[in-house]
Amino acid sequence: MNTRIDELLAAAQAELAQANSDGELEAWRVAHLGRRSSLTLALRSIGQLPPEQRRAMGQAANAARRTLEADLDARRQTLRRRTAHAHVDVTMPGYPVRLGRLHPLTLTLRDIRRVFAPLGFRAVSGPEVEWDRYNFELLNIPAHHPARDMWDTFHVQQDARPGDLLLRTHTSPVQARVMEQVPPPVRVIVPGKVYRYENRDASHEAEFMQVEGLAVDERITMADLRGTLTYFVRAMFGPDRDLRIRASYFPFTEPSAEAEMSCHACNGSGCPVCGGSGWIEILGAGMVHPKVLADVGYDPDTYQGFAFGMGVERIAMLKYGVTDIRSFYRNDLRFLRQFG
């Protein structure tokens, strides 16, 4: 009986090695593991053997059946892998690898830094979670001053030390931090993220980027500010751009101004981009308020300075013709692949 089972096992394994399709595997299964297979009939005939042989013969037959079932599963997996690889033409070229690109805001920020570096402005940074003292008080915006309404502020609850923590509403706090630590002359730009409690729409975001600029030295005048900003707009938008300055108000500058450049889309003749005026507002600026200089330990009778602040998204929208500020933060690859 043992010899018979060994012969059935060897014959079944030899036939299985020749099966090359699901149909052939199924036919093999029926022939060698089905209800009328030789192995099944051998198991059923064990009852006719002497009692002392039944146990050993039953164990041998069941072991053979388990071996064939395992061999069937292995053969089925082998054929599946072979079928999968049969559809792959290894001589065909692979899919092209998409290269990563810089985000348009990163590109714009690099361009801004590249413009100001030859003028002696070094880039510095500061904390995004800021003390009220630096965000407001040292910028001539004391508590309960109505000018605070110009910045919708996210406040942070804390008990570690006196004063209020908040998410900075502009990069101007770094002005005060730099002037507290560095004696004049000072020339810095401050790129970074700022936060304001605003409704998001095509021109407003609750999180966005700014670049603050500060220059402090002896005999700095409004003419220096105008010349710096004229150089900036022509370097960013082309040599034909003109700059004009109109009066405005910021608590930390006096006088304060809004800077506008001639429209790059229509060259000042009027179009939908500039609202028909021929001019586009790009940033706020002004001469540093004497009180701000005095509060950080500078002598306002000796030193003067100018400051300006621009939104990086605003510059990018003008530079690349983007109409919705939210496009920069949607992570839409169809949009981002246009740049870089």
Following DSSP, what letter does each residue of 194-229 receive, concatenated? EE-----BTTB-SEEEEEEEEEEETT--HHHHHHHH
The pTM score is 0.69
Lowest-confidence segment of 41-45, 187-191, 192-196 by average pLDDT: 41-45
Least confident of 73-82, 234-243, 295-304, 323-332: 73-82
What does the alpha-carbon distance between residue 168 and residue 175 come to, in Å, rounded to a whole number?
13
CA atoms within 13 A on the CB side of 248: 21
Fold of 106-336: BirA Bifunctional Protein; domain 2 (3.30.930)
Beta bridge partners of 258: 246, 284
- Is 80 exceeded by the pLDDT of residue 242? yes
Tokens representing 126 are 């500061």
